[in-house]
Structure 1
């Protein structure tokens, strides 16, 4: 499979689907001669067992391939959902009608050329075309630490010390500007037109509950994200979904290195046996930190920063936060300069990620994640060495070819499902047509069993006999 050909296919409005028993990805292209409700057909040269060449394909036929398959997968013994910036962009677009600010490259006032050169090298080594904001922060932190070591014995007014302080000031300014851009994105959704904002949150809630509504005997949903914003937390609050994370406390939650398994459960009245988990609870991990996490007094704290706040500065003036500024924000890979290791707290978060998904009978659903983080990709690759594990990749596009390159590189195609394209990866289309509907599966199964017991596998037509014996004789077992 040619990666460039896949990128061109998606860029022209094509879709990539691989589900159930598909041996290879099925390519769908735009069908201009068909009705609006059946906009796709098989691409030239693409073959599958469920559609014929030149057949008009719409969401009804695609739903038959996708929704039952995803419904079965999300009821795996262990389920995890990895959410990237694609979810935030989709929700913001529905609510505000504009694009969300991205992680654009920044300029440092001191040593900018040296930082840019190293960022280019790092990005090339990681297989990316260009460096991003995280690369710049990582390199700047490494350079800052190196200068601190080299110039430890220099005078405070020496040129080397002034250069060091200038770089530290530049890094703090860059982080403050980036945090402001995140808050601006939250604010533009929070202040959007009421009807549009409600629609956006309705889709976000439906998306989250499609995975969180698991059978009571199944382990809780493990929710992971690489996002710094609080869109997911806001959606969970709207849905009444309780998120359990590593923070303990009410007024000033503190990050704990030991996982806190606060799993509430109940026994249904009159039923004996193993307990059932309480509904509406999920475990939540922000792998890259958050805009409201701060390093303070040797610990990681979460401040009470409202969703939609214009500026974090007023909330940093509380007692106990004296001297705290943007340089203390725990945004990956920015580690507090007084920490013993730059890996804290991220090493704990990634350990949670690996321990949660690298288990038998587990399913991981990736949505809006571009596969640009090798430390995450390696864990997913390790997970697929377990034969019963399955990976579902849902994305609106693949402009850099990372998803299809990862698909080809992993090699375990039978353990992977693909839904890629501006239709299959669209949040509205997913919620309306393809994702499992929350909390109706058990009712659906009971209805099917009732219909089978009464009339066989299908209801009788109006012309069939009303004789009870005839009806009973039509039942199958």
Structure 2
């Protein structure tokens, strides 16, 4: 079994022998990075893979509905088969081509029904696979992993900035975990009967009155800022009568069909669908947060298949000399690795039981520190040092 901790292209574990020693080194490395002033996470589809199928599995489900789609519009099945052959069944590439054709058709005033039908059928499959009953026993493992992530990482000292979590996922596992833990989170939505998206809310900080000092306020413990880069299955547009407050949260019923939700589908051409509110606002927040000095970005379950997300990471690396990026996975074929930047770290390999060290389950269960436990250790250490100083003074 072998673990890899690469800084740029150099393996920092190459001279260390023994799985336990390597594991301890990884844990110490991450524990030290978690003391960085600004902590950010980028979670991709791998974080929910114990419940949500991969794009490859979803492609198989698309094939199951092709005969029915062909009965609606002739030519849908041959079109999919040709795209599948050319792009190796990659739904991201296929949707990208279909979206491009739709944009072209709209531009020249024409319409190809088999293109729009196939795109809609693929979107429906993806939505149906994402819209699961997150509280059922089938998905308890996924919810527990998210809970463990937030239980460990949200308990930072109130003197430090709150945790930022960015995700390309459209599912509701983040929200479910935070609710079950009783952790407050800010996702840009607020209001009364209707929860409306307002990007200015990301600039709000939440505090409470100090119990010991009058007219003083202290930050709320366990606060999290949650940014859903590609929207969510419980977002939809509606006519609010306001120019910009036109995205609302609503209660979505598991297993239902797509009902005009503001969901961004996985394709390299997502930019064509994500230039307005709320996506542009949230992407700006992503760019701004990882551009702050003394920041770290932990990247888990993300495949670097989304160019506009990638570009913001590259921009931050070019402009923020104190940014550290920790990639959980082997990305030797990606530009972010090929550059060999010493601020970019890669962690991957296998435990002795065969579990991959960079998978979400392993990261949250075996690698990430418990910041609350670390905080208690720091308190005890400080108390011990002060006690020793008093003893020496006597």
Q: Is the 8 A contact 2:189 2:201 kept in 1?
A: no
Contact 1:289 1:332 in 2 (8 A): no
Note the C-alpha offset of 1:297: 3.2
C-alpha distance in 2 between matches for 1:213 and 1:140:
45
CA separation in 2, counterparts of 1:23 and 1:420? Answer: 13
Kept in 2: contact 1:371–1:403 (CA 8 A): no
Do residues 64 (structure 1) and 24 (structure 2) align?
yes
Matched position secondary structure for 2:371: coil
Q: Which residue of 2 aligns with 1:468?
A: none
Equivalent residue runs for 1:92-107 within 5 Å: 92=51, 100-103=52-55, 104-105=58-59, 106=62
The aligned residue for residue 240 of structure 1 is 182
**RMSD (CA atoms):** 3.5
**Aligned pair 1:344/2:295, yes or no?**
no
Q: Note if 1:371 corresponds to 2:304.
A: yes
Evaluate the alpha carbon distance shift between residue 116 and residue 350 of structure 1 in structure 2; reply closer, same or farther with a 3 A threshold: farther
Unpaired runs of at least 5, structure 2: 241-245, 352-356
1:300 corresponds, among 238, 247, 271, to 247
- The CA distance in 2 between the partners of 1:258 and 1:116, in whole Å, is 45
Deviations 1:267-318 (A, max 9, x none): 5433589853211211111111222222333833322115xx12247xxxxx
Match of 2:123 in 1: 175
Task: Map Cα deviations across residues 36-85 of structure 1 (whole Å, 9 max, x no partner).
Answer: xxxxxxxxxxx32xx2xxx4332xx3453233332332232221100011
Structure 1 residue 262: Cα displacement: 3.2
Per-residue CA deviations over 1:92-148 (Å, capped at 9, x if unaligned) read 4xxxxxxx4222334675467677878998x7xxxxxx5632333333233223323
Q: How big is each residue's C-alpha offset from its partner over 1:394-415, in whole Å with a ceiling of 9 and x where there is no partner?
A: 24xx4xxx455344323212x1
CA change 1:294–1:249 in 2 (3 A) is same
Cα distance in 1 between the residues matched to 2:346 and 2:214: 41
Aligned pairs for 1:152-191 within 5 A: 163-164=112-113, 166-183=114-131, 186-187=132-133, 190-191=135-136
Higher mean C-alpha displacement, 102-111 vs 222-231: 102-111
Structure 2 length-normalised TM: 0.78
Q: Are 1:17 and 2:5 an aligned pair? A: yes
Instruction: Determine whether 1:410 maps to 2:339.
Output: yes
1:238 deviation in Å? 1.3
**Number of aligned residue pairs:** 364
Q: How does 1:65-214 map to 2 (within 5 A)?
A: 65-90=25-50, 92=51, 100-103=52-55, 104-105=58-59, 106=62, 109=70, 110=75, 130=88, 132-151=90-109, 163-164=112-113, 166-183=114-131, 186-187=132-133, 190-192=135-137, 197=140, 200-214=142-156
Cα displacement (A) at 1:168: 3.2
1: distance between equivalents of 2:89 and 2:383? Answer: 58
- In structure 1, stretches of 5+ residues that fail to align are 1-12, 28-46, 93-99, 124-129, 153-160, 314-324, 335-339, 457-470
* Secondary structure, aligned partner of 1:79: strand
Matches within 5 A, 1:247-326: 247-266=189-208, 268-271=210-213, 275-297=217-239, 299-306=246-253, 309-312=254-257, 325-326=259-260
Answering whether residue 169 of structure 2 is matched by residue 227 of structure 1, we say yes
Residue by residue, what CA displacement relative to the aligned partner does 1:133-190 show, whole Å, maximum 9, x if unpaired? Answer: 23333332332233234346xxxxxxxx6x44x543443332222211112xx33x53
Higher relative contact order (CA 8 A, sep 6+): 2
Show the counterpart of 1:388: 322
In the aligned structure 2, how far is the partner of 1:191 from the partner of 1:119?
A: 34
The change in CA–CA distance for 1:361 and 1:201 in structure 2 (over 3 A counts) is same
The structure having more radius of gyration, on CA atoms, is: 1
